[in-house]
Structure formats: structure tokens, C-alpha cells
Amino acid sequence: MRIGILSDVHANLEALEAVLVHVEEQRHDALVSLGDFVGYGPDPNNCVTRLHQRGLRAKVVGNHDLAAIGARPIDDFNLLAQEAIVWTQRHLSVEAREYLAALPERDEIDGVLLVHGSPRLPVDEYILDARTARASFAADAFRIAFVGHTHVPAIFEEARHRVRLAEWLPAIPKPLPPGHRYIINVGSVGQPRDSNRDAAYVLFDTEEATVTLFRVPYDVAATQRKMEAAMLPVPLIERLAVGR
Ligand code: ZN
């Protein structure tokens, strides 16, 4: 099975559409989302509707999704994120709200764990280094887990009880040998933060046992114009152009 794995769309419809076109060309069998459908961007309802129509085989909730439906407090968000969440709360449709409210914290596909943050703390924990990854490898018995949340693509590999950040170049299938364990961050569709403005997503081929990171250019200026019209915070508009 070839599974397209998206995360952190963050209400960026132009980025989402570009990724959906790209993944269609990859002969994928299923699509899954790792949460943060909304927050930051100007198209929360359209992004939820688009993914709902397209059909997700598995999906989990993100911290911004929960904040947008009022299911968690926002005081631990930074001020810009708070402002965007309040905007999203005001603009979210009843249908989008219901869709987000029904999302689980964990899901799986083909025996692989799916969470937004980390296997240890599924919604909120950021795995930014091998040390944090090690805690999640110890906390749960998964062999492969896919995560999002940091907006930075990464593969953490556990082999012979050592955890390291593996090298991962875009567009080249990366083998996942048996016996090794993995936490794979698929990056962000709608707000990349690894100094690359192109939308990120991953294709996981279960038969070949490979993961491929793709970067997909999209019309950043179109999203920025919509954010300006919506009067979303300027730093959130600017960061899209530099992928930070
Ligand atoms: Zn996010």
C-alpha cells in the first residue's frame, strides 16, 4: 500500500491543493492526516471540507484543532497563534467544528501509529531531538510512528537501543530496514518551518518499506493576500514566504 501522509495544513488551501495534485500523481492508495487542519491560515472551512470530501483513511486531532473548537485553553499558545485561533473560532462553520470535534488523538493504518505530537504525549509534545524521541520509543511498543506538530520533517531511528536523527533527502525513497524503529515527522503542508517555503508531505510505501519526503511549491502570494484581507497577524503572513 502507498499512503500519502499530510500534517499541519493550517487552513492553507493553496498549499493543500498543490499537495493533493502531487500525491494523486504518486499512485497512492490512501491518504491520512496528522492534525492541525486549521489555525494560522485563512481557509479553515474549505480545508476541512476538501479533506473530508477527498476521504481520509485515518486522521488525528492537533492542538490547534482542539483550540479552534474551544476544547482546550489557548494561554500556552504564543500571542500570534492566539490571535489566529480567535479568528478561526469566529469563522469556523458548524460542519467543520463537528468534523474536528470527532477526531481521535491516536489512529493507525496498516499497523503504523499516527499521532500529531508524539507517541508519549499524542497532542502536545514536540519531538525536536533524539533525546525526546528516545522517551517516546520507551513509552510505547510501536515500530513505526508518524508525527507532525514541529513543522520540520525528520526521521528518528532506533537501532540497537540507540536513537539518532537520520539523514533524509527530499524525493529519494528512504529505506526502513526491519528490526529498526522509527518516529517520522512528515513536516507541514501549510506552514513549513525548516527554511523551505514549499509544502511538505510524505509517501509511505508499505511493500517497499520506504518513506519519501516531497516538497511541493504553491502560490504563497495568493495565500498571503487572503490572510491580509482577513487581517490575520502580519508576522504569520510574512513567515510563509521564508518557511520559518
Ligand atoms: Zn501545527
Residue closest to 129 by CA, chosen among 187, 185, 202, 211? 185
Residue 221: how many CB atoms within 10 A of its CB?
Answer: 11
pLDDT for position 223: 98
pLDDT of residue 106: 98
The 3-state DSSP class for residue 92 equals coil
- Note the pLDDT of residue 33: 98
Separation CA 121–CA 118 (nearest Å): 5
Please tell me the predicted confidence (pLDDT) of residue 120. 97
- The amino acid present at 3, given as its one-letter code, is I
From ligand 1's centre to the CA of 20, what distance in Å?
A: 18
Residue 197 C-alpha to ligand 1 middle, in angstroms?
A: 15
User: Ligand 1 centre and the CA of 149: distance in Å?
Assistant: 5
Residue 61 C-alpha cell reads as 486531532
Strands (DSSP E) along the chain, which ranges?
2-6, 30-33, 58-59, 106-109, 112-115, 144-147, 154-159, 162-166, 174-175, 181-185, 199-205, 210-216
CA of residue 179 to ligand 1 center, whole Å: 30
Q: Ligand 1 mean position to 62 CA, how many Å?
A: 7
Q: How many Å lie between the centroid of ligand 1 and the Cα of residue 34?
A: 10
Looking at residue 182, its pLDDT comes to: 98
Its sign, for the CA torsion 201, 205, 209, 212, is negative
Count Cβ neighbours within 10 Å for each residue of 43-75 and write b for 16 or more, e otherwise. Answer: bbbbbbbbbeeeebbbbbbbbbbbbbbeebebe
